[in-house]
A and B are shown apart, each in its own frame.
Chain A
Amino acid sequence: MSILAVLTEDLLVRVNSRIEDGADRRSWRLVCKEFLRVDSLTRKSLRVLRSEFIFSLLRRFPNVDALDLSACPRVDDGMLTLLLARGAASTTASLRWNLRSLNLSRATNGMSFKGLALIASACSQLEKLDVSYNCRLGDREAAAISGIEGLKELRLDKCLEVTDVGLVKIAVGCQKLEKLSLKWCMEISDLGVNLLSVKCWSLKFLDISYLKVTNESLCSIASLPKLEGLTMVGCPLVNDSGLEFLSRGHSLKEIDISRCEGVSSSGLVSLIRAHCNLMRIIAGYLPELSAALLDSLKLLKNLTTLIINGTQVSETVLQTISSNCKSLIEIGLSKCIGVTNVGILQLVSSHQKLKVLDLTCCGSVTDAAVCAVADSCSSLVRLKLEACYMVTEKGLERLASSCLLLEEVDLTDCSGINDSGLECLSRCSRLVSLKLGLCFTISDKGLSYIAANCSELCELDLYRCTGIGDETLAALSNGCKKLKKLNISYCIEITDRGMKSLGSLGELVDLEMRGLHNVTGVGLAAFAAMSKRLADLDLKHCENIDDSGFWALACYSHNLRQINLSNCNISDVTLCMVMGNLTRLQEAKLVHLANITVEGFELALRACCVRIKKVKMVSELRLLLSSEILEILHAKGCIIRWD
């Protein structure tokens, strides 16, 4: 009997729409054909890992409207033509009509204005485009993008060759633009931003971080009638007068002025006084917090996020913040000087709804503060206590008993943490991310508690936790099936046995295992054979792994995208195999490979030159490698870093 007799397709669709996790969706698809069909029809977004599967995937998911090609090794004009041109396969016809969001971030340099022009002409419904980190994207490409009339969101982060001319073309062509990011587009100047403000009246969010724009730009930006959020991190030429210009503008909701050297409290004060609806203020690294600034916080009734990293605070400051701001949900005091227990106590006492608290490098914080946080903020979701070395298991016990909603905890470098502390923490069964780097005093025992209880754990950082061994890995492979990212670098107790057990973590995508001297080729091969999803692998200084392990990688780890083989004992042929056979490999760090000859490097590079995007090698090789291979790599858009 078919399940549709009991549950209509309509209901199935509704249930399916609430499933977000990738693993869960995969299990859904395996249930029965009806479930598979429902999933295929309702799927809206697609992240393609390899270009050769695009057509079959599109055939399966005809209703996709958001396509993410940023992980695809070779996205270039030819591929875009095949995908979008009029004469292309029928499967893509619906794509042309439906496509609303396209992600071409970090595509290779094979993508030029021709491909973008094709996108502009074919996809009339396109609203969101991300072409960030394409370093050679310039004004011609910007001109092609300006042909997308309905574009609402555009990311041009680090498109280094876009100048004011390209920006103005986009501003004139895409009149409906609402969100624009120009972070790191260093060629943009005041002229471009000025014209952007004149032409793009619908702009709501603008990111001009790190640009060399002056107060003139802020004067122009102030005239944008619908601006809600402005991000200007690290703009060196802007100062308080510029912020005063901004005060004249439309009521902002979000502002980020971190690391702007010329900005001080007075600029921020004038901004706050003019924009009473501010919800998020990110103002890291101000020289100091003046009394006027703290006083002005009273005016902001809707303030939910206040991040004032890297500045000088005191108990009175924290108290004033506490009394003036009533509705904070996120507080950031990372690397602030002068944070004490009393200050924290006063701060959190009035903020029961606090969800995110960042106390990174606030070394004076002890268990008393953690207890105070635990008592007041039971809704806490994210807590960062990196380098708070005085926190011990007492604080964690209180924390775990009241903050059961905790999802992210960062206890890196907290030398006071021990196994009993972890036992307490394991009560937070919703933990998704746990960072325990540089905690020398924890061992397998403590981790076993975590592994047993925190089944939702996706990210675990055990960097240099020398007390950790194979048992932890075994426990993790049993208990934390959703683990995606794991760092076991320099946990030298780990041997091949542990590596083998890691293989059963089916969701593992990112593994960093530097300096594991007790792991040999056997262990790595066992792991590689089972770990299908592995995309990022860091094996630096694993000097006892021999060729058998790397061969296994070359054979089995087809999803590998990034690899660090520095200081490993890999041979010529094996390196060539790894670079040649892993067709998804895009970034490789190949520094200090003692057994590889120059010819070996040549061959390996040629094997992967078509798709490799980033390579790191010793600088001596620059003179030894043939100019031909270097030219080929350069022509393909590969970036070579010389160590």
Chain B
Amino acid sequence: MVHLIITRKGQVPSKPDEVLTQQQQQLITADLTSIIVQLISTAGTLLPSVKTIGQFGQFTPKPAAVSPEQQQQQQSNNSMDVEHNYSTTEEHEEHEDGETEHLPPGSYEILQLEKEEILAPHTHFCTICGKGFKRDANLRMHMRGHGDEYKTPAALAKPPTVKEVGSAAEPVIIKRYSCPFSGCKRNKDHKKFQPLKTILCVKNHYKRTHCDKSYVCSRCNTKKFSVMADLKTHEKHCGRDKWLCSCGTTFSRKDKLFGHIALFQGHTPAIPPDETKTVVALAPTDAAAAANKLADGSGLATMDFNSGAQALMDFKSVDDPAGAAAVASCFSPLNFDSCNFVGGFPEFNRQGFDDSEASFSFLLSGGSCNYSSQKTGGES
């Protein structure tokens, strides 16, 4: 390309110098920038290979493991490579100097998986079609679809497990795992290296310690977890603390709450706010319903009753600051003051207006005449 540009420059002397040279300069700069961009991109593609070379140093030298690493970086198909990885690591006996608590150094094998391997959801891959599975057992089931040779009991059986307390038949290799995160106490390069026992342990440890917590508890909206199983365990116990102190601390047991209150001045148990109150709210509506029923029931003097009730209802609607459980009796004092019942009326009438809902003394209103008309005999 550079040669092309130089030749182009040489080819155009005849045109007016200023304008054309500007155009040519622009062209040239454009070409140059494009060349530079291409250079950078190709350099970038070469970089991963540089990385692998660097990471090689961390690994115990395993010539066979180079190619799987590179392919894993691209994250395209991890199928047989991972399997290979395992098989190759298992074949080689590695001795590593490290500090352990229970096992003397050198008596066990240390394996370290890569971060991507740990975080990958599927760890078992079909060699034929590349489908991924979380469990080896699921993979074996899937393999049945690939041909009859996989339906044999031998193929379906679990691969023989390695036990620590082993028989003399096979040499039992104890495997422990290291966390790839540098600086972590579970990393084999750490001074106080504490290995992890299984791959699941590695996974959980890595997610809990070195990943951010993406699952949030829906109940308390506070606790966050990186491992789904941890979240599920938390949800079993979340929100169970019904013993609440006025300072906001919750307790799972009553005696714990009381012990806390005994220690501090001014703390009291708090009643959870989600209790419902239904009794009080029912009262006015029930009274009204009862009043209506009553009016229907006694055909005798519905008019009088309604007028009495009406008078009180008006006052009720005007003065209603109380709100809850407003029953007529509490308004009758106001009734008295404004209706001026004090003087002049016989005692029966006065009593009659005390209850709006249920007083039959309207039948007796007007004094003894009504009374004697109701009774068949007897004295008044």
Contact = CB atoms under 8 A, between A and B. Distances in A.
Contacts of A603: 294, 297-298
A164 B254 contact: yes
Contacts of B326: 78
B47 interface: no
Contacts of B321: 81, 85, 87
Given A73-B329, A81-B322, A110-B327, A606 B354 contact: no
B28 interface: no
Interface in A75-120: 76-79, 81-82, 85, 87, 109-110, 112, 114
A245 interface: no
The winner among A172, A198, A549 for most chain B CB atoms within 10 A is: A172
A239 to B, nearest CB: 22
B155 interface: no
The winner among A73, A81, A628 for most chain B CB atoms within 10 A is: A81
Contacts of B294: 603, 606-607
A73 B290 CA distance: 18
Contact of A52 (B262, B298, B336): B336
Interface in B287-327: 287, 289-290, 293-294, 297-298, 321-322, 324-327
Contacts of B98: none
B378 interface: yes
Interface in A222-252: none
Given A146-B268, A168-B261, A191-B258, A78 B327 contact: yes
Given A77-B324, A78-B330, A610-B287, A143 B261 contact: no
B358 A110 contact: no
Interface stretch (B55-63, B68-76, B275-283): B275-283
B254 A577 contact: no
Contacts of A579: 358
A610 B328 contact: yes
Given A606-B297, A610-B327, A82 B258 contact: no
Interface stretch (A423-431, A453-461, A520-528): A520-528
A266 interface: no
Nearest to B358: A607
Contacts of B351: 558, 581, 583
Contact of A522 (B258, B279, B282, B378): B378
**Interface residue tally on A, bucketed by range:** 35 or more
A508 to B, nearest CB: 19
B360 A606 contact: no
A55 interface: yes
A76 B268 contact: no
Contact of B286 (A76, A521, A636): A636
A443 interface: no
Given A55-B333, A606-B294, A610-B290, A114 B359 contact: no
A77 B280 contact: yes
Contacts of B327: 74, 76, 78-79, 110, 610
A79 B269 contact: no
A374 to B, nearest CB: 50
A154 to B, nearest CB: 16
B47 to A, nearest CB: 66
Contacts of A577: 360, 363
A640 to B, nearest CB: 16
A551 B298 CA distance: 18
Contacts of B331: 78, 82
A173 interface: yes
Contacts of A624: none
A544 interface: no
B96 to A, nearest CB: 58
Nearest to A580: B360
Nearest to B254: A191
A383 B357 CA distance: 49
B83 interface: no
B215 interface: no
Interface in B3-41: none
A525 B326 CA distance: 36
B271 A139 contact: yes
A522 B375 CA distance: 13
B325 A548 contact: no
B377 interface: yes
B324 A173 contact: no
Contacts of A109: 279
B170 interface: no
A85 B320 CA distance: 13
Contact of B271 (A165, A192, A632): A165
Given A73-B329, A580-B360, A195 B379 contact: no
Nearest to A521: B378
B255 interface: yes
Contacts of B355: 580, 583, 610-611
Nearest to B332: A52
Nearest to B267: A172
A583 B330 contact: no
A576 B358 CA distance: 10
A56 B326 CA distance: 21
Interface string A605-622: 011111100000000000
B352 to A, nearest CB: 8
A581 B280 CA distance: 25
B359 A635 contact: no
Contact of B359 (A82, A140, A526, A580): A580
A548 B283 contact: no
Contacts of B293: 606
B86 interface: no
Contact of A172 (B266, B298, B347, B374): B266
Nearest to A53: B333
A95 to B, nearest CB: 14
A555 interface: yes
A52 B347 CA distance: 14
Given A76-B283, A577-B360, 5 more contacts: A192-B258, A549-B378, A581-B359, A583-B355, A610-B355
11 contacts: A73-B329, A74-B330, A81-B330, A82-B322, A139-B271, A552-B378, A555-B348, A583-B351, A583-B355, A608-B358, A632-B290
4 closest Cβ pairs, A-B complex: A548-B378, A79-B330, A78-B322, A580-B360
Interface of A: 50-52, 54-56, 73-74, 76-79, 81-82, 85, 87, 109-110, 112, 114, 136, 139-140, 143, 146, 164-165, 168-169, 172-173, 191-192, 194-195, 198-199, 521-522, 525-526, 547-549, 551-552, 555, 558, 576-577, 579-581, 583, 603, 606-611, 628, 631-632, 635-637
